[in-house]
A and B are shown apart, each in its own frame.
Chain A
Amino acid sequence: MSSRPPKSLLTYAVLYLIFLYAPVILLPLFAFNDSAIIALPLSGFTFHWFGLLWDTKALHEALYNSLLIAVVTAIGSTTLGIFAARAAARYEFPGKRGIVGFIMVPLVLPEIIVGVALIVVLIQLGLSLSAWTVIIGHVLICTPFSIAILQSAFNNMDRSLEEASMDLGESKIGTFFRVILPLVTPGIISSLLISFTISLDEFIIAFFLTGTDVTLPVYIWGQLRFPARLPAIMALGFLMVSLSFFLLLTAEYFRRRANRLTGNHTRSDNGIFQ
């Protein structure tokens, strides 16, 4: 039996959540508000701003760029993550801890530093800025997340499962497809979704490296100069937040499933999905 938390803690938690989410809650409020001015009181309900998004050609291009970048980033960082996590989980090699730690560094580096450093290097290399340079930057910052997620999936996997498969006559490749992959698939899906979401929402690196292929966040940044377009941005923001939220929840669902499948029989981590 779990006991109830003390009242003071509960109040603190509620205040904290309000502080955290109040600005986000304002988004849908004004996204559906029938007024070009972002201010209270609200003046009526409308889908007008969403319709406006539909008609804005530049936005569609930004959306296309963002989706392309996010998909390629998700696949790229997850693939790198699979290799790294598998290697870290299975093989012992000199300096392993150091190397794995080093891969995780971008997790804590300020994005502006990564952005500036990348732009310097890319220009030195003579590459012109495009969606592909953004992808390079995004893979760099997403890979640590992918590794972290996949590492727990690979690490949790009991080594004797692979050996049992080999013992029953299955080949190495067969074992990978019949045992390892099914067990880490939830982790892979989780990694794909999270890196997709990070890339979709990322602004600073995209801003530095995007050239003419603007992404959605960069497009939004550009629109902020025009007060009249603000309600439409609110609508766009609402859509993006909803999508991110949905993706992250789905990712979390798969991450938990990965932990459960790979033989973590503890029932302790019971979250909202169980």
Chain B
Amino acid sequence: MKTPQKINDQIIAIEGVKKNFGDVTALDGVSLNIREGEFFSLLGPSGCGKTTLLRMISGFDSPSIGSVYIGGSDMTNVPPNERPTNMVFQSYAIFPHLNVAENVGYGLKKQKLPNDEINRRVEEALALVDLEGFGARESHALSGGQRQRVALARALIMKPKVLLLDEPLSALDKKLRETMQSELRKLQRTVGITFVLVTHDQEEALTMSDRIAVMFDGKIAQLDTPEGLYKRPKTKRVASFIGVMNFIPAKVVASTKTKLSLEVEFLGKINVTASNKIKPGDKITVGIRPEMLTILYGETDKADNVFSGMIVSASYYGDMTYYEVELKNTDINVMVSMRNTSGRPVLLTGTTARVGWGCESITVFDG
């Protein structure tokens, strides 16, 4: 059996993992490395295999093919109770017959530690999640946010190498969710443990993670930093899953070593950085984020390239306004987002607008 080459500081290595449930393929050849101490997210739509992958790491499911390494040793067939990982379950799985302190100390009790030490560490763990003095509270008398903190304390007290979190915030309301997002991030920095978070909320993944693996249909579509994913999405699917992106068909008219010359439908000729996959004659798509497009007010506003269109809808968000602009003489609509600043009133539906853009903000997708 081959062992994974220890790349500097990786803590988890997943190699060629496939998982079938009957004829459903939940994971279809996943390989990835997670670094020690990072906040790593698995992001993807419902049913793409995020939970399944997390359960491979925790040991609740074993791969049909492939291996899982944690801290350099092969854990593929090691049961969950012998793995250096702990999990925060989506339902929190607080033991209903035990109070808060007994829940948090559950794992330590198995280790047969003296009671004083258990009590001391339970108090520490509760303090870590801002639940000092809640030890004697019955578990059914907790709010959603408190249950979540108990689940966190119960896992962290075990001092795991990796903390796994399966959509831990999805049951909370928006306000509490946002508070917990920043608290979780802070907590991760405090304890320095590797966190692996499963989420289908792209905003959550972007704001919390060091790196994100975007998954579709049991495969990893792209693994990158939040900024990398947003700025350099590899496929149209990733681009539209992470934020909003406008897609416009284009054709390659010429290419040099460093530049591609494109004929973009309705917009005209542009030059972008070359990619070795794309040759002249190929039909491709260009993508541009709404915030990279600007509505030009009056004659003073200038841009490298300009097209005009009609505003078909305007959504006001306070700090921002989102416009949907229909390109002249086409049925192509593009989204434009504008920061609301003084002197730039919100434009009405039906007005004609000039939209400016720059070539450097364009992403090219083959196909």
- Are A169 and B107 in contact, CB atoms less than 8 angstroms apart? yes
Q: Which of A8-41 contact B (CB under 8 A)?
A: none
Chain A 131-164 per-residue mask, 1 if CB under 8 angstroms from chain B, else 0? 0000000000000000000000000001011011
Q: Which of A166, A182, A265 is close to B80, meaning CB atoms less than 8 Å apart?
A: A166
Question: Within 8 Å CB of B256, what residues of A?
Answer: none
Interface range on chain B: under 10, 10 to 19, 20 to 34, or 35 or more?
20 to 34
Query: Is A211 located at the chain interface by the 8 A CB criterion?
Result: no
Question: Within 8 Å CB of B106, what residues of A?
Answer: 165, 168, 170, 178
Question: Within 8 Å CB of B107, what residues of A?
Answer: 168-170
Query: Is B322 located at the chain interface by the 8 A CB criterion?
Result: no
Nearest Cβ in chain B — how far from A155, in angstroms? 15
- Are B96 and A163 in contact, CB atoms less than 8 angstroms apart? no
- Are B93 and A161 in contact, CB atoms less than 8 angstroms apart? yes
Question: Within 8 Å CB of A182, what residues of B?
Answer: 97
Query: Chain B interface secondary structure, helix, strand, loop or mixed?
Result: mixed
- Are A161 and B111 in contact, CB atoms less than 8 angstroms apart? no
Question: Within 8 Å CB of A183, what residues of B?
Answer: 96-97
Question: Within 8 Å CB of B161, what residues of A?
Answer: none
Q: A67 to B87, alpha carbons, bound, how many Å?
A: 49
Query: Chain A interface secondary structure, helix, strand, loop or mixed?
Result: helix
- Are A164 and B158 in contact, CB atoms less than 8 angstroms apart? no
Nearest Cβ in chain A — how far from B140, in angstroms? 7
Q: Which of B104-121 contact A (CB under 8 A)?
A: 106-107, 110-111
Q: A93 to B291, alpha carbons, bound, how many Å?
A: 55
Chain A 79-91 per-residue mask, 1 if CB under 8 angstroms from chain B, else 0? 0000000000000
Q: How many contacting A-B pairs (Cβ < 8 A)?
A: 63
- Are A169 and B95 in contact, CB atoms less than 8 angstroms apart? no
Least CB separation from B87: chain A residue? A167
Question: Within 8 Å CB of A261, what residues of B?
Answer: 96-97
Query: Is A204 located at the chain interface by the 8 A CB criterion?
Result: no
- Are B95 and A174 in contact, CB atoms less than 8 angstroms apart? no
Number of interface residues of A (CB under 8 A): 21
Query: Is B219 located at the chain interface by the 8 A CB criterion?
Result: no
Question: Within 8 Å CB of B93, what residues of A?
Answer: 158, 160-161, 163-164
Question: Within 8 Å CB of A165, what residues of B?
Answer: 95, 106
Chain A 230-274 per-residue mask, 1 if CB under 8 angstroms from chain B, else 0? 000000000000000000000000000000011101000000000
Question: Within 8 Å CB of A164, what residues of B?
Answer: 87, 89, 93, 95, 154
Question: Within 8 Å CB of B80, what residues of A?
Answer: 163, 166-167
Q: A161 to B98, alpha carbons, bound, how many Å?
A: 12
Query: Is B148 located at the chain interface by the 8 A CB criterion?
Result: no
- Are A169 and B110 in contact, CB atoms less than 8 angstroms apart? yes
Chain A 164-199 per-residue mask, 1 if CB under 8 angstroms from chain B, else 0? 111111110010001100110000000000000000
Q: Interface residues, chain B, CB within 8 Å of chain A?
A: 58, 60, 79-82, 85-87, 89-91, 93, 95-97, 106-107, 110-111, 140, 154-155, 158
Q: A164-B93, A166-B80, A170-B106 are known contacts; what are 13 more A-B pairs with Cβ within 8 Å?
A: A160-B93, A163-B60, A164-B95, A166-B60, A166-B81, A167-B81, A168-B107, A168-B110, A168-B155, A169-B81, A169-B82, A182-B97, A183-B97
